[in-house]
Amino acid sequence: MKIFKNRTTLGILCIVISLLICFGITPLFNKTISQKTEIVRVAKEIKLGDKITKDMVQTVEVGGYNLPENVIKNKDTVIGRFAAADLSVGDYILNTKISKTPEQDNAYLYRLNGEKQAISLTLKTFASGLSGKLQSGDIVSVIAPDYKKQGMTVIPPELKYIEVISVTAPSGYDANQRDAGPNSPSAEDEKELPTTVTLLATAEQSNILAELESDGKSHVSLVYRGDSKQAEKFISIQEEVLYKLYHSEISTESTQENEVVQ
């Protein structure tokens, strides 16, 4: 084209484009990168699993350009949550680095609501703990040799169906868990043999388990492993047995006392 062969015209065109860039595009770009926004930043060092309190974080104003989309901007969103990773002073808090529940190997302990208790039973031998095959969520029976010094090996009716919530190795780490915690030994590490099994028990069951622990005689047998809904059916059966054993007796005694008074 002839217009581009004319040096004067070409020079004027370059000047116009330069002016557009200087006074049009550049101010818009500068305005974009200079926009400020408030975000939540770490004020004190936070470790994995720590519950985040008000003094651990602060709200600061920073440039909004190129910020991660998942950076948290509301302080109330963070307070009361748990750290899902180690956070250093000055770090921006992303929604992937906090959790509603503590990200710890023993997170299951935080789910206790007062209805049941967690109690551990020592596995005296390799065989007594199902040869290291127990997992969280298993339904087991606890077998008691020479139960109450009666010379008989029985499964106490209170301990026919009871849930395993963890199996622990000598190091204190949970072993053979379905969902290993972030601090657990990796699969490449040599697996440690479990030494205790932690069970989810009622107060009555805990008393019997404590007696078995004191006697040093107990054996765990696997009843069911699989779907949680099916596992709950076993627990429901056990709860009915516990009600008949304990609450029915209390009801009968109360009735007898009322009859005597009358």
| DSSP class per residue in 55-93 | GGEEEEEEE-TT--TTB---HHHHTT-EESS-B-TTPBP
Q: What ranges do the domains of the chain cover?
A: 36-99, 107-261
DSSP state of 45: -
* In contact, 147 and 156? CB cutoff 8 Å: yes
Give the pLDDT score at 122: 92
User: pLDDT-based confidence at 107, cuts 50/70/90?
Assistant: low
Inform me whether the pLDDT recorded for 124 exceeds 70.
yes
What span, in angstroms and rounded, lies between the C-alpha atoms of 135 and 194? 10
Inform me whether the pLDDT recorded for 4 exceeds 70.
no
Inform me whether the pLDDT recorded for 148 exceeds 50.
yes
Inform me whether the pLDDT recorded for 178 exceeds 60.
no
Inform me whether the pLDDT recorded for 169 exceeds 80.
yes
**Residue/partner pairs of 2-8 with CB below 8 Å, 24 or more apart:** none
Q: Pick the range with the lowest mean pLDDT from 88-92, 167-171, 173-177, 240-244.
A: 173-177
Put simply, whether the predicted model's pTM sits higher than 0.95 gets the answer: no
User: pLDDT-based confidence at 36, cuts 50/70/90?
Assistant: confident
161 burial (CB, 10 Å; 0-12 / 13-18 / 19+) is buried
- Partners of 201 in beta bridges: 117
Candidates 121, 146, 143, 132; CA nearest to 221 is 143
3-class DSSP assignment, residue 17:
helix
Q: Which residues of 245-258 are buried (b: 16+ CB within 10 A; e: fewer)?
A: eeeeeeeeeeeeee
3-class DSSP assignment, residue 36:
strand
Give the pLDDT score at 172: 74
CATH of 36-99, one of 3.40.50.300, 3.90.1210.10, 1.10.1470.10, 3.30.1490.190: 3.90.1210.10
Q: How much is the mean pLDDT over the chain?
A: 79
- Of the CA atoms within 13 Å of residue 210, those in its CB half-sphere come to 10
**Residue/partner pairs of 28-35 with CB below 8 Å, 24 or more apart:** 32/65, 33/63, 33/65, 34/63, 34/65, 35/63, 35/64, 35/65
- Tell which wins on pLDDT, 49 or 260: 49
Give the pLDDT score at 240: 94
Q: Pick the range with the lowest mean pLDDT from 27-36, 138-147, 229-238, 247-256.
A: 247-256
Distances (CA, A) of 151 to 146, 154, 159, 211, 218: 4, 10, 18, 16, 14
- Of the CA atoms within 13 Å of residue 217, those in its CB half-sphere come to 12
Give the pLDDT score at 170: 83
Phi, psi of 198, deg, nearest 5:
-100, 130
Give the pLDDT score at 14: 72
Candidates 202, 204, 219; CA nearest to 122 is 219
Inform me whether the pLDDT recorded for 191 exceeds 70.
no
Q: Pick the range with the lowest mean pLDDT from 24-38, 65-79, 146-160, 173-187.
A: 173-187
